[in-house]
Each structure stands twice: as C-alpha cells, then as structure tokens.
Structure 1
Amino acid sequence: MLKTTISKVSQYVDQEVTIGVWLANKRSSGKIQFLQLRDGTGFIQGVLVKKEVSEEAWEAAKHLTQESSLYVKGLVRKDDRAPSGFELTVTDIDIIQYAIDYPITPKEHGTEFLMDHRHLWLRSSRQHAILRIRNEIIRATYEFFNHHDFIKIDPPILTGSSAEGSTDLFHTEYFDRDAYLSQSGQLYMEAAAMAFGKVFSFGPTFRAEKSKTRRHLIEFWMIEPEMAFTDHEESLVIQENYVSFLIQSVLKNCPTDLKTIDRDISKLEKIKAPFPRITYDDAIKLLKDKGFDDIEWGEDFGAPHETAIAESFDLPVFVTNYPTAIKAFYMKPQPGREEVVLCADLLAPEGYGEIIGGSQRIDDLELLKKRYEEHNLTDPAYKWYLELRQYGSVPHSGFGLGLERTVAWVCGIEHIRETSPFPRLLNRIYP
C-alpha cells in the first residue's frame, strides 16, 4: 500500500495511492459519485465510477456524510481543471467513521454560530487557507531572522510590570505577589540584545482593552526584534525588508491558498522595499487637507486617520517622529527636537492600519531616570531595566509586528478574528 497525502499526489501521477481523508462534500451524477476530500494538507476531488468499483465500495460511498472519515484508494490523474491540478480516480474506500449531523453545512451560517463552532469551522477551505498563510508568515519570519543572524530569545509571559506603563493588563497572583500577563516582550528583548547583539522573539501577548473593533484581539502574537548598535534609520530598513520578504514568501509558497480566498494578488505583488515615509507633522497636514479638521498636533491617530494616510500611498507607509507625549517612556527623543521621538508606525495599505510599531530606545541612564519620574514608574520591578543603561549602554532599536493584523492584510480579511485559530475577543473565550 502506497500511502501519501493530498499535498504530495503530484509525485504519484498514474500510480495508485491510499490517503486518509475526511469528506468535505459530495455530489452524484447517476453512476458517478464526486467526493470532495480533504486531509489537512489540501483538497482533492475523488471520482467514483460505479462500474469500476465493487458494490460494497459504491454503497459505502453513497452513505458517506459530511466530515465522515475514511481511507480512500485511487489512481492519481493530472487534471488542469482541478484547483490542485490533480484528481483521484477512486478504486476502493475503507470507512473509519460516519459523521452524524455535522453542524456546519454548505448553507450560509451567521458569524456567531460559526465562532461557537470554531473548532469545526477550521476545516472549511477558506479558514484552512487563511491559517496556512499564517503558517507561511511564521515560517518566513524564522527564515528571515535566522538568515540575518538574529538569535531567538523567549521572554516571559508572566511579568511583574508593564512594558509601556499601561493599565490594560491582565492581573494574576504569583504566589504572594502581583503578576501580569505580558503585553510585550520588548523590555526583556532589550536585555537579550545587550547579550547577543541581534535577537527576536515570537510569542503570545495580552491586552485587556475593552475594544470591539475589527482590528483588535485580546490575545495575539507578536514578533519583536531588538538590535544593539542599531539606530532608527537602520531599523526602518530592516523592517521594510522583513515585510517585503514575508509578502514575497506568501506569493511564492501559497498560490493555491490565495486563490481559495480570492485574494487580489496584484496588490501584494507591488509590495517591495523601500517603503515611503511621512513625518507625523506632515501626516497631520495631509489629514487636514483630506477634511479631518478634528485632528490636532499632539493627538494619536485612530483607524479612520490611519486609513486616510495609507490611501495616499501604493505601499505600506512609515509615519515617523510622533510626539513624545503620546509614545512610550523608553523612546529616544529626536536630537534637537525633544518634543518628538525617533519612532515609526508602519501602516498597511487597504485600510488595515498599523502592523509595526518601532523606535530607537533611550540609551542614556539619566534621561531614562527622568522618564521614569515623568511616568511615575517607581515600581522596583523596573530596576533591572535601568541597569541595562548602567553597564555598557549602546544605541539600540527595535520593533514589534502584530502577526494577526499582518495576516488580515495579506489575506484581505475584513475581521481579524479569522486570522487566529481560536480568537479571544472581548466577549468570547469559547471554544
């Protein structure tokens, strides 16, 4: 028995193979049954011709229900009309289990129903394709940073403090003291950069924001590189090269998945570094020219503002040099202009908003102490962070890319909830 997977059938054209599958759907045309099969690696059509199989196999196939599991044996045929380019001429089937009353049928279902059945919704071709693209972005992330000599370091998920002094934290008890779920690994990655030079982390982060927008999740994954001896301009180059690499990797390795979700790849094909840049000052002027009279210098941008800015460019755009007052305490002021910092947000096209936030970090001990006082960061849990500036401080920069927002943009998805296998939303922690 030659056992394989749907993703590898191209290696066995005109050969008989056996594949473990689930039935996604089926239709019948008299003496032919068409089985839409999936195995986790892909989808393929199995064609069952009555006169070419045993009576037992024919009857078993007739009684197959959606999501029933089986082993299917068949001859691999090349078929350019098929989405995968191949088809299976079925010669025999071996039923593992008949599924009964599978709740997600080919008819339309409401979002809440589908989210309640997320554990099953993942099996659909669209959700399958989205999460395969997510996987490719993760794979390409490791390839990019490994190729550029970064070391992966894992920051803790339980922390004694907030990375940005935020109150939007999930609190827990750590034996006899307070602890929080991490909202960023950045501070720890700065410590790692002082040991290894160039590092990155990839892990879950948590924000207790009571937000219901299509861009927000309560639990999400971040890629957070930190680089010693690296200034803001050098960091921007790394950021745009990284994002370009992700897009090109998805285009190269996920063409079938992009086709499954009907993504307009012409919009992705143009995503190549370098990316345009606009200062916060000029962004304010741009917004006022576009009719946003309510925005004033010193205010942060909301989703409509970010969308309006991005619409003025064909590529992702860096908005640089935000006001010091609205950014985190650790960001380095621009020399000669203390009211703004050396930072940038990367806004994705098509209204997907910020996918990267980054900055050059303060490397001066006295200035960081001053920032501590201004932000009332008296907690001794921050003591170790100050010490990074006390023992061999160097210029350093870093950034964080939100995985789910990036997946949403690459896939052209309206709501971020489809980018996570099991999304955590304001009113959802099931399944």
Structure 2
Amino acid sequence: MAIKTVIRQVKDHVGETVVIGSWINNKRSSGKIQFLQLRDGTGYIQGVVVKNEVSEETWNLAKSLTQESSVYVTGVIREEARSKSGFEMTVTGLELIQLTDNYPITPKEHGVDFLMDHRHLWLRSTKQRAIMVIRAEIIRAVQEFFDTNGFTLVDPPILTPTSAEGTTNLFHTKYFEEDAYLTQSGQLYMEAAAMALGKVYSFGPTFRAEKSKTRRHLIEFWMIEPEMAFTDHEESLRVQENFISHVVQSVLKNCRSELETLERDISKLENIQAPFPRITYDAAIEFLNKEGFDIPWGEDFGAPHETAIAEAYDKPVFITHYPASIKAFYMKPDPTRPEVVLCADMIAPEGYGEIIGGSQRIDDPELMEERFKEHELSPESYQWYLDLRKYGTVPHSGFGLGLERTVAWICGLDHVRETIPFPRTLYRLYP
C-alpha cells in the first residue's frame, strides 16, 4: 500500500512506495526514459519513468505531460547523491489530475510587467518560492524572538481616526459618517499597550500613500513594531541588534537551500552578529561631505546617502541622534543637546537602506503638549495619547521594522516587489 507524503518528507521513506500530489515543473526525455521534475510546494524531486518498467498507459501519460500539469505520482524513493535534494523517485504509476495547455510563463525570459501581471503564476517559480519560504522563516523568527523575550503580541487597529506621523501620506476612507484612514503605523497604540503590558509588539499591514516608484517602496507593507516600558534609548538599541542577529541566523540555519537557490552570498549574512557599529548624525554628515556629497546639517538622508554610509561597514549600522526638526513629534530630545533626539535608524548593508527606525519616546506631559502645539496636532483627536503621559508616565522606547525591506536584504533582491506575495505599488493593484 503506497504511503501519501510530500517531497519535504521523502527522506523518511527511502525504499518505500509513496504517492505525491505534484505539478510538472519541467520535463526531459532520453529515449526510453522520461525525467519528470516534480514540485509540490514543499520541495522538488526528480521522478524517473523507465519505459520497460511501467505500463504502456503510464508511459504514454508521462510523454504527454506539459509544464504545470497536475498529477498524483506513485513510486519508490531512493537516495541519489547526484540530486540536489539527495533523493530521487522511481515512478511506477501516474494519475492525471489536469493536463495544462499553453502555460503562460515558460523557461524563456519574460519582462517584469508580464511577470507582475501573472504574479499568481509567477509565485510557482523556483526563485519566487524560495523568497516566500525565507519570508515565512523571517516571520517565524521575529515572533520567536519576541515571544521568548517577554513581549506580548498586541494587534493595533487598521482603521484609525488620526495619523501617527502627519496626514499627507494617508489613505482616506469613510467610517460611516466619520473620516477614517488606513494605518501608517501602529506605534501610538502600541505605546498604550506597553503601559498595560510592559513589553509588547505588533505585526500587521501598514499603508503609505506615497507616490514613490523606488525599488525600496511599497504602498502596502508589513511592520513589526515593539514598544517597551521602562526602557531607554541605549537599551532599545541592544534589543534591536540582538533581534536582527537572531532573525538572520535563523534564516541561515533553516533556509540554506533557499538562499543557495537565490545565489545569495551567504558569507555576508554569516557576519551579521551583534553588536552593530554606530555613527551619530553629526559624524554621518561629516563623512558624507568628505565623500563628495553636498548635504548640510539638518537635512534628512536619501537612498544614496544611506548606501554610502552602509558601504563603510559589513554589518548593519545605527545612525543616531538626528535633528529634532526632521523627526517625528514624539521623539525624546537628548537632555544634553535638545536640538537632537534620542533616535536611531538601522541601515542594512549592501545598499538596502533603512530597515529599522526607532527612538525613546517623550514621557514628559508638558513637553508633549508643547510638541502638539508646534506640529499643530489636535489635542481632542489625540487626548487618549496625551493621557498616557498624564496617568503614570514612564521612560519608554520602541522601533519599527519593515518586513519587506528586510526580506529584500536577506534574500539579496534588486527590488522590494518580489518580497511580498502580491505587491501593491504606485501603478499596480492587480492581481
């Protein structure tokens, strides 16, 4: 009696007859032998059909199979050192589910627009599957890190009445008779949760209505946003570098074959271990001016600036103490130098830009009210946020990690659009 299994588990069935539901990834023939490249979502294996060892019906079916045809394949699993997986399947029977005709994505080269129009099918490719497996491992490692370090998962709302960082980049909608927006960050709500639970994190979708077409930007993306009560800026930086180290090392441990599929330089990831280097905004400005960039103190960094700084290091680098004028209203000023704030952006190596932004938050009620006036924020709309400073205020810090940029960096991808199953970009809402 054949055992139903999946390709990932064939190592447990060497010498046994199994049944695997699969698709034909590719096929080639050599006279009286058909070589079927099978995939089932968990992995890949070659099925070998020998004409003299199967029925005429099975042989003819094997000959007729086309790319992405779906079949149940019965056969014996054996070890095969020449195979990438280390195993091969000697096919004894085939049951056709569907014979595919004119599958749109062939082994030839296709343009990006064509592939994005067929994203629902492009996901089946070897490379895209590897990216999705690594994305899933990153998510698992993220949750493992926080769940084992005393954090509680809290889900902030997606529909909000106000903005976290200004209303210019928000998607507006109607909430019955009221105005509402798709969230651009769960941070403010996570601050409230931290006052109840100590250390918390959220993981969910966020939306930015930026008309940006760079390789680093998506309209809809996923954020991990921890907040920590009784935690200062320095403590937060240590959490961030240990967090990133854990995620990268988890991917190296559990997704080695997927990284090899992507032809990722694994040595560059093996070096990602805490602690990470740090550079102040002041030092970064000085460095950039020496490198030929004309950027005055007080301006924010763009992609070329971040890339230049990152190239000086082989690990992620923190840029700390930005001017208060270019950062969010809630960031705590440095007590020794109030024109800069206790914040940091973590810049990934190899030109992938900012993957984490974080800060110590203002905990002084009077200073927060001053910031509200400076930024012309409505006290009525944000009264609940002001209450957090009014009733039991404490030092607290937090940060946000963009999942897709992190996936792009770890996978070594040229564009962030491949890091999410169905990307939403400036000109793409299909499929």
- TM-score scaled to structure 1, two decimals? 0.99
Q: Given that residues 220 and 402 in structure 1 are in contact (C-alpha distance below 8 angstroms), is that contact kept between their aligned partners in structure 2?
A: yes
Q: Deviations over 1:212-267 (max 9, x none)?
A: 00000000000000000000000000000000000000000001101111111000
- Cross-structure match for 1:331: 331
Aligned partner of residue 381 in structure 1, secondary structure: coil
Q: Deviations over 1:385-405 (max 9, x none)?
A: 000000001000000000000
- The separation in 1 between residues aligned to 2:188 and 2:80, in whole angstroms, is 54
- Cross-structure match for 1:154: 155
- The separation in 1 between residues aligned to 2:367 and 2:79, in whole angstroms, is 67
- Cross-structure match for 1:354: 354
Alpha-carbon offset, residue 112 of structure 1: 0.2
- Cross-structure match for 1:383: 383
Q: Given that residues 37 and 43 in structure 1 are in contact (C-alpha distance below 8 angstroms), is that contact kept between their aligned partners in structure 2?
A: yes
Matches within 5 A, 1:415-430: 415-430=415-430
- Cross-structure match for 2:8: 7
1:247 aligns with 2:245: no
Matches within 5 A, 1:22-421: 22-292=23-293, 294-378=294-378, 380-421=380-421
- The separation in 2 between residues aligned to 1:46 and 1:231, in whole angstroms, is 58
Seq. identity, %: 71
* AA matched with 1:127: Q
- The separation in 2 between residues aligned to 1:83 and 1:371, in whole angstroms, is 59
Q: Given that residues 84 and 256 in structure 1 are in contact (C-alpha distance below 8 angstroms), is that contact kept between their aligned partners in structure 2?
A: no
- The separation in 1 between residues aligned to 2:380 and 2:32, in whole angstroms, is 76
- The separation in 2 between residues aligned to 1:131 and 1:43, in whole angstroms, is 15
* AA matched with 2:176: F
- The separation in 1 between residues aligned to 2:326 and 2:201, in whole angstroms, is 25
Alpha-carbon offset, residue 166 of structure 1: 3.8
- Cross-structure match for 1:20: 21
- The separation in 1 between residues aligned to 2:319 and 2:303, in whole angstroms, is 14
Unaligned runs of 5+ in 2: none
Alpha-carbon offset, residue 81 of structure 1: 2.0
- Equivalent pairs counted in the alignment come to 430
Aligned partner of residue 88 in structure 1, secondary structure: strand
Alpha-carbon offset, residue 89 of structure 1: 1.1
- The separation in 1 between residues aligned to 2:401 and 2:86, in whole angstroms, is 35
Q: Given that residues 372 and 379 in structure 2 are in contact (C-alpha distance below 8 angstroms), is that contact kept between their aligned partners in structure 1?
A: no
Q: Given that residues 24 and 38 in structure 2 are in contact (C-alpha distance below 8 angstroms), is that contact kept between their aligned partners in structure 1?
A: yes
Alpha-carbon offset, residue 80 of structure 1: 2.3
- The separation in 2 between residues aligned to 1:354 and 1:303, in whole angstroms, is 9
Aligned partner of residue 41 in structure 1, secondary structure: coil
* AA matched with 2:419: T
- The separation in 2 between residues aligned to 1:169 and 1:83, in whole angstroms, is 47
Alpha-carbon offset, residue 14 of structure 1: 1.3
* AA matched with 1:373: K
Bigger shift: residues 300-309 or 94-103: 94-103
Aligned partner of residue 139 in structure 1, secondary structure: helix
Q: Deviations over 1:161-189 (max 9, x none)?
A: 11112410000000011000000000000
Aligned partner of residue 97 in structure 2, secondary structure: strand
Q: Given that residues 52 and 91 in structure 1 are in contact (C-alpha distance below 8 angstroms), is that contact kept between their aligned partners in structure 2?
A: yes
Aligned partner of residue 389 in structure 1, secondary structure: helix
Q: Given that residues 10 and 86 in structure 1 are in contact (C-alpha distance below 8 angstroms), is that contact kept between their aligned partners in structure 2?
A: yes
- The separation in 1 between residues aligned to 2:342 and 2:59, in whole angstroms, is 69
Bigger shift: residues 374-383 or 30-39: 374-383
* AA matched with 1:299: E
* AA matched with 1:247: V
Q: Deviations over 1:137-159 (max 9, x none)?
A: 00001111000010000000000
Q: Given that residues 404 and 420 in structure 1 are in contact (C-alpha distance below 8 angstroms), is that contact kept between their aligned partners in structure 2?
A: yes
Q: Deviations over 1:98-119 (max 9, x none)?
A: 1111100111000000000000
Alpha-carbon offset, residue 82 of structure 1: 1.5
Unaligned runs of 5+ in 1: none
Aligned partner of residue 136 in structure 2, secondary structure: helix
Aligned partner of residue 211 in structure 1, secondary structure: coil
- The separation in 2 between residues aligned to 1:191 and 1:14, in whole angstroms, is 58
Q: Given that residues 215 and 417 in structure 2 are in contact (C-alpha distance below 8 angstroms), is that contact kept between their aligned partners in structure 1?
A: yes
Q: Given that residues 123 and 421 in structure 2 are in contact (C-alpha distance below 8 angstroms), is that contact kept between their aligned partners in structure 1?
A: yes
- The separation in 2 between residues aligned to 1:57 and 1:86, in whole angstroms, is 22
* AA matched with 2:402: G
Aligned partner of residue 339 in structure 2, secondary structure: strand
Alpha-carbon offset, residue 379 of structure 1: 5.5
Q: Given that residues 225 and 398 in structure 1 are in contact (C-alpha distance below 8 angstroms), is that contact kept between their aligned partners in structure 2?
A: yes
Aligned partner of residue 173 in structure 1, secondary structure: strand
- The separation in 1 between residues aligned to 2:142 and 2:157, in whole angstroms, is 20
- The separation in 2 between residues aligned to 1:166 and 1:286, in whole angstroms, is 33
- The separation in 2 between residues aligned to 1:395 and 1:68, in whole angstroms, is 59
